[in-house]
Amino acid sequence: MPEVREGREVAPPWTLALAGGVAFAAGYPPRPAWPLTFAGVALGLAALLRAGGRRETVACAVLTKAAAVVPALSYLSGVSPLAHALVASVFLAVWTLLGLAFWELKRAGGRAAALGAFPFLWTLAEWTANDLHFLPSHIISWWDALAEPGLALAPYTGLYGVTFLAACGVALATTAREWRRGSAAGRRTLLRCCAPWAPAALAPLVLAATLERRAPEARTLRVAAAGLAANDSLEEHLESGEWTPERRAGVLAHIDRRMGELDALLAGERPDLLVLPEDAIDFTLRRSRSEEAYRLWGVENNGALLDAYRALARKAGVDLAAGMTTVRAGARRNSVVVFGRDGSLAGLRDKYYLTPGSERWPLGRWLPVWLAFAGDPKFAEHDMQYVPAEEPFPLLRAGGWSLGAAICLEGQMPSAYRAFKRAGADAIVYLSNAHWFRADPGGYNAQVLRMVRLAAAAYGLPVVLTGKAGYVGQVDERGRASVWPAFGPGSREQLRFATVAAASRSETVPSRYGEYYALLSALGLAFCFATARVSASA
């Protein structure tokens, strides 16, 4: 039955939570209506405060987030349904714990204790869910919707600090309503329970005073970032029939043709660096053909594709970075290779965080149920999966710069930006390949672009984006983007020329301390639990 207050019916808490989730989702990328996310979280908080029992509180917590998580998971449309389910289950579990924690705080210390803990709870839940789930991406976060207003804050707060301050804003508005209705004793309780917000909110100012400041270096790099289309002709050629000298010649001719197209796109321009996407030249292999194709095609060590890239770099007179699949020591790797303008192999980096459901199956050797969801037979055998790099985030040298190369979902990890910044990177090149998305990639790309803008500002690193079915261009170290979409009906293969200014050597608060609001939220939540229990025993 609906609750009745002062002679009028009040909507049950779960309807408020559901409305909050819908409002949150309505303000989430690609929609630019980010103020709606505040309304969504406010409705969710109201539902949590109104919920009566443990189960109702948990249901409200889950409903508030579930409606937002579904559209946020659009990037899983090209991965297996089971991977989608596993990621969603992590969020379900974490928000269930949020509901349980909120109920326990409210039971022990009243509404004021639960309200005081809310910003810490929400921030810690988002960080925990994103750090625990099976895909190395952090874009399913409130701060992703708040990238535009959060750019000025990010160098001090980091990504999750934007979430914390937003949650504080919602909780503060709710506290003001509680204050007006409360007694003198209730107001004192509110002040005591919400007191931890102040030191947590002031932490960026304190930490900023510890940073080392240096004068920026006036260095620029002329970059050509490629937006390429998927080309299935090579895959079809590799998968059909038996290998013959004529078929191998056809593969080599295809590679030469693609290199000629890339040279034509340069149109006589000679940038300092040409950056090509992840898997720039398609070479998708099915299980039945993998071993033979790799052996005959010559990917091992100095393969045909490496030779073609070397020749292109030499002919165009540019340093070249390209994404490709390599096989070394008998293992398949998702790599970025760098060639100098003289054709020399100047660097190589393998992807460290592999994509589950696409490049690897978690527990694949012990969890055969994955195989029922494998859309690509090449993953039916555990030994045919990709292997991670031995070193997470080494720097590459190209165009006279030290570059961090983020491949695919690695560009959506705050830890990658911090590692590259601390290693002394001048910029990041972000190589992606989203052409395998079954749905329109617009929603996913909007999420990624906001993530990149906020992370670039937070960690003080410019980012060059290149991809297939993604955004191409640059984001400077203040988060300002100059990009064009290489997806949608009007897209075509192009090079985007950009002059990138090197990152300043000055630290930001996140580049020194990481996403420190996760730790602050854990400490704040522990304090809230301790004070609630003291109040309950008094």
CA–CA separation, 340 vs 436, rounded Å?
30
Q: How far apart are CA 239 and CA 35, in angstroms?
A: 50
Kindly indicate the confidence band of residue 292, based on its pLDDT and cuts at 50, 70 and 90: low
189-237 pLDDT, tens digit each: 889 999 999 999 999 999 999 998 777 777 899 999 998 876 544 554 4
359 within domain boundaries: no
Same domain, yes or no: 24 and 166: yes
CB 97 within 8 Å of CB 140: no
Q: Is the pTM of this model over 0.85?
A: yes
pLDDT in tens, 241-286: 555 667 667 777 878 888 898 999 998 889 999 999 998 886 544 4
pLDDT score, position 286: 44
In this structure, are 229 and 335 located in the same domain?
A: yes
- The pLDDT-based confidence of 135 (bands split at 50, 70, 90) is confident
Distances (CA, A) of 151 to 202, 377, 454: 18, 43, 6
Looking at the structure, tell me whether residues 454 and 522 fall in a common domain. no
Nearest Cα neighbor of 283 from 229, 240, 237 is 237
Q: What is the mean pLDDT of residues 404-422?
A: 94
Same domain, 163 and 232: no
CA–CA separation, 30 and 480 (whole Å) = 17
Do 147 and 64 share a structural domain?
A: yes
Q: Which domain holds residue 224?
A: 220-353+388-506
362 is a domain residue: no
> Can you give the CATH number for the domain in which 454 is found?
3.60.110.10
CB-based contact 201:165 (threshold 8 Å): yes
Within a domain: 381: no
Domain for residue 375, yes or no?
A: no
The answer on 231 and 159 residing in a single domain is: no
Same domain, 156 and 43: yes
The structure tokens listed for 518 are: 């996760």
**Who has greater pLDDT, 15 or 357?**
15
Same domain, residue pair 13 and 153: yes
Q: Is residue 365 part of a domain?
A: no
Structural domain contains residue 485: yes
Q: First vs last Cα of the chain: how many Å apart?
A: 35
Do 399 and 335 lie in one domain? The reply is yes
Least confident of 106-115, 411-420, 496-505, 513-522: 496-505
pLDDT for the residue 315: 93
Note whether residue 374 is domain-resident.
Answer: no
Residue from 97, 27, 37, 30 nearest 62 by CA = 97
| Domain count along the chain | 2
Res. 289: pLDDT tops 90: no
Longest alpha-carbon distance in the chain:
89
Answer yes or no: is 409 within a domain.
Answer: yes
Same domain, residue pair 101 and 245: no
Task: Say whether both 321 and 185 belong to one domain.
Answer: no
- To 5 degrees, how large is the angle CA 406–CA 407–CA 413? 60
Say whether both 243 and 98 belong to one domain. Answer: no
Comparing 439 with 472, which gets the higher pLDDT?
A: 472
Cis peptide before 32 (omega within 30 of 0): no
CB 17 within 8 A of CB 44: yes
C-alpha 220/C-alpha 226 separation (Å) is: 19
The secondary element (H helix, E strand) that includes residue 46 is helix 35-50
Tokens of 522: 């854990």
Query: pLDDT tier at 302 (50, 70, 90 boundaries)?
Result: very low
- 10 Å CB burial of residue 236 (0-12, 13-18, 19+) is exposed
Q: In 3D, which of 421, 511, 434, 509 has the Cα closest to residue 463?
A: 421
On whether the CB atoms of residues 155 and 477 are closer than 8 A, the answer is no
CA-closest candidate to residue 449, choices 229, 37, 151:
151
